Structure 1
């Protein structure tokens, strides 16, 4: 029995959680075997054993449970395929050459508009390049001689190729009518009930925040910063909780870029621009949302690693901004501040594993209605926080990471249970004070 159970009592065994994925894929959580494989690849490359280096390198890329990499032998060649989102990268490697390609889209007719766009894109790429196949397919290609194909370079090059292929298929097809999708690789279509729940949540949350903007007591121009927290929390939580693909994913990423762009606009003007992007999602037909609700496999993460100390600094810098709104009774905007901290961190960073679990738990508590609709365990009943269930979950996170992080002991006495905003504020203070030093 843990100290949490001694204090708060044992909770009843929870029903199994639905198998629903949240958030962006990260390749930061490597197993020891993967790190050993990369070291082996580096050593083999140093010896000039290029084929052995390639084999070990692909072992490193294989993520447990993802089924994201497949490798086979073809006489002197190594054939391979790896998945990044809805795109598949294929290629071969031998003692003479390393070659990789991903098909992005098919052109019904060759037009100068998209070909000029691809030419411009090539100037931005460091390792790979866009090309046109004899079948009028837009491809992105990387090749290299073995002596110049160290594991470090291969990782950077394949990541560039794969992530650009996955991103540009949606962007190019949406922008140019002459292009059509091809070679779409979907791991699993979501169940209809899950699609409907996610769609209702997307619509409901956007409409709710629009209602606060239009009918709230605060003027959007005078208190623009508070509404920025509200809109950005909306953006990042939709990304994490609904895990969109295609058009919606790009819209949310565009909102992120607009918010932080140095374009001379003030905060209120940016809020209006961001609102227009959300309006596009509201106007989008349900069937188009459903077409983009599927699971994919990934090899490369696009989030930036961050350690706990820097995360604690972010919490310390942002959290005080909720104080005035909380004191004045504007609870929805006050709650958006810790919501923003958590959801932005999950959107932009590859968090330490314990921090990621603690942040997910807070989102599950704040967005309890949505999680209830998905069939997850409830941490809020009749508007009241379930103290025992929450502390039991904190205990579970602590136990899962006790070997890797022996000094991590969350102080649940710091938690304030009076209201959801106060709880969220105290919860982030608790996370901020965690000791993750010595984590393996």
Structure 2
């Protein structure tokens, strides 16, 4: 990242500006950044230059605050005193507390009670210390904690962003890991987590089983020979869809993350074996009781996105490669897999790539179009009528405009494309939509 940047435009890449969502989707932040974010950043930068450390940090923390429907999510709370600044940062299962003085920044996250730590867990945390750049694990008389200490001599908004991001993301991930792998251990400092409503949990549980049933039917219709590639698209599409739309936490998230990493990174395993492994896990999800399922979800506040920013070229290359595969299946008359690949593409991008808020918003709109029954069950106005096979064109075009028009001052070559979409069928709509995403131009003014 360019160290010469003097405003927080680069920070926008860690946020999703979607304003109409009442539920969380995916692993990013479903909120808007502060409308005064750039102004607050500039004030923070100037205060650091003047050596006014407490003011600098206060402005910086306020620039990280995010909003839902113009109301603060209180994902960051500060308390400025005469000679120190107290703060709290919320990141999923983790709460980071700390204090800033003129000389130092100190932050910590309480993980578990010291007496609860098993040998295997202690070994894991020691290994984590070797992986971290800024933070480290330690224990006091009562708790195991993750801590961060930064000297303020050369502090700037850019220099403090990444250490704070590391401690927040690490604390959240490791608390979920402990919940998944050491279920008998009680996590500390989780009072801020909010349970989902029974209605939402039941909707998600029902759709999980509906999607599994649909998956099994589609698998059964594939040709009996040479179908490993098609099975891969179907299984991965299910995994990515579940992760983005249902947003499971704890054990499900941990298992899915490991299986996705293994699928794409372990070249020693055949595609057939990888598919079989995904199939076995999906069968475990199928027999999971509602009580067990409902324990894997919660609502929480988030301050940092987990993925590093991806270049537009990387995203364009993935779309192009996917379109090549679609053409191959079309030419070889494997039409039953085409629609699944079109839904797989946006879910894959949302799972694997760090997106700017414009691209993320546009991809979410495509997901809403492709999955109308799920969003209708959550009481969103549908963008596609499945019974009549018709699109709500004006609404779709308005959603595209909403994502692009406010950003044209910053990106001079960014153009709306709603009127260029092909509404003749779902496959054609998906294809034309992905083509337009490839043509997005983020050259700044």
For Structure 1 versus Structure 2, the TM-score category normalised by the shorter chain is: 0.7 to 0.9
Q: In the alignment, which residue of structure 1 is the partner of 2:51?
A: 48
Aligned to 2:415: 408
Which residue of structure 2 aligns with residue 373 of structure 1? 377
CA distance in 2 between counterparts of 1:249 and 1:323 reads 33
- Which range is displaced more, 232-241 or 299-308? 299-308
2:23 to 16, 20, 30: 20
Equivalences for residues 106-125 of structure 1 within 5 A: 106-125=113-132
In the alignment, which residue of structure 2 is the partner of 1:8?
none
Matched, 1:279 2:283: yes
- Give the Cα separation in 1 of the matches to 2:335 and 2:382: 21
Answering whether residue 110 of structure 2 is matched by residue 103 of structure 1, we say yes
Distance 1:205 1:149, change over 3 A: same
**1:292 to 2:292 alignment:** no
Report what 2:401 is aligned to: 398
How many Å separate the matches in 2 of 1:102 and 1:332?
Answer: 49
More deviation, 152-161/117-126: 152-161
Contact 1:68–1:299 (Cα < 8 Å) also in 2: yes
Task: Please say if residues 308 and 355 of structure 1, whose CA atoms lie closer than 8 Å, have aligned partners that are also in contact.
Answer: no
Q: How far apart are residue 415 of structure 1 and its match?
A: 0.6
State the match for 2:223 in structure 1. Answer: 218
Distance 1:110 1:201, change over 3 A: closer
Offset of 1:89 from its aligned partner? 0.4
Tell me, yes or no, if structure 1 residue 61 matches structure 2 residue 36. no
Pairing 1:265–2:265 present: no
1:81-118: CA deviations, max 9, x gaps?
01000211001110232111111123544532221221
Q: Could you tell me how far apart the structure 1 residues matched to 2:358 and 2:156 are?
A: 33
- Judge conservation of contact 2:244–2:347 (CA < 8 Å) in 1: yes
Q: Structure 2: how far apart are the matches of 1:178 and 1:363? A: 37
Would the aligned equivalents of 1:362 and 1:424 in 2 still touch at CA under 8 Å?
yes
SS in 1 for 2:153: helix
> SS at 2:22's partner residue?
coil
1:298-335, CA deviations, whole angstroms, 9 ceiling, x for partnerless residues?
11111232454543332222122123434566445211
Distance 1:416 1:401 in 2: 20
Q: In the alignment, what sits opposite 1:248?
A: 252
Structure 1 residue 78 displacement after superposition: 0.6
Q: CA deviation at 1:177?
A: 5.4
Instruction: Please give the secondary structure, in 2, of the residue aligned with 1:92.
Output: strand
Superimposed CA distance per residue, residues 366-398 of structure 1 (whole angstroms, 9 cap, x where no aligned partner):
2222222222223343544323x1343223431
8 Å CA contact 2:33, 2:65 repeated in 1:
no
What is the TM-score normalised by the length of structure 1? 0.86
Distance change >3 Å, CA 316–CA 29, structure 1 → 2: farther
Report whether the alignment pairs 1:424 with 2:430. Answer: yes
Root-mean-square deviation (CA, aligned residues, Å) is 2.8
- Please list every run of 5 or more consecutive structure 2 residues that lacks an aligned counterpart in the other structure: 1-18
Which residue does the alignment assign to 2:205? 199
Q: Write the distance in 2 (CA, Å) between the matches of 1:191 and 1:342.
A: 28
1:81 aligns with 2:84: no
Secondary structure of 1:71's aligned partner: strand
1:13 alignment partner in structure 2: none
Q: Secondary structure at the match of 1:182?
A: coil
Aligned residue in 1 for 2:7: none
**1:127 and 2:134 matched:** yes
Q: Using the TM superposition, name which of 235-244 and 258-267 deviates more.
A: 258-267
Q: Which has the higher contact order (CA 8 A, sep 6+)?
A: 1
User: What does the per-residue CA deviation read over 1:125-179, in whole Å, with 9 as the maximum and x for residues that have no partner?
Assistant: 11111112311x2211111232254433321111111111111112123323562
Given the alignment, which residue of 31, 35, 39 partners 1:36? 39
1:312 aligns with 2:319: no
Report the Cα offset of residue 255 of structure 1.
Answer: 2.5
Change (3 A) 1:437 1:73: closer
Partner of residue 7, structure 1: none
CA gap of 1:192–1:28, structure 2 versus 1, over 3 A, is closer
Instruction: Determine if the alignment matches structure 1 residue 342 to structure 2 residue 346.
Output: yes
Once residues 292 and 95 of structure 1 are traced to their aligned partners in structure 2, the CA distance between those partners, rounded to angstroms, is 42
Q: CA deviation at 1:343?
A: 0.8
Where does residue 167 of structure 2 map in the other structure? 161
Is contact 2:404-2:416 (8 Å) kept? no
**Deviation at residue 339 of structure 1 after TM alignment:** 1.4
Q: CA deviation at 1:413?
A: 4.7
- Deviation of residue 30 (structure 1)? 4.6
Shift of 1:56: 2.0
SS in 2 for 1:305: coil
Q: Do residues 229 (structure 1) and 236 (structure 2) align?
A: no
How far off is 1:37 after superposition?
2.5
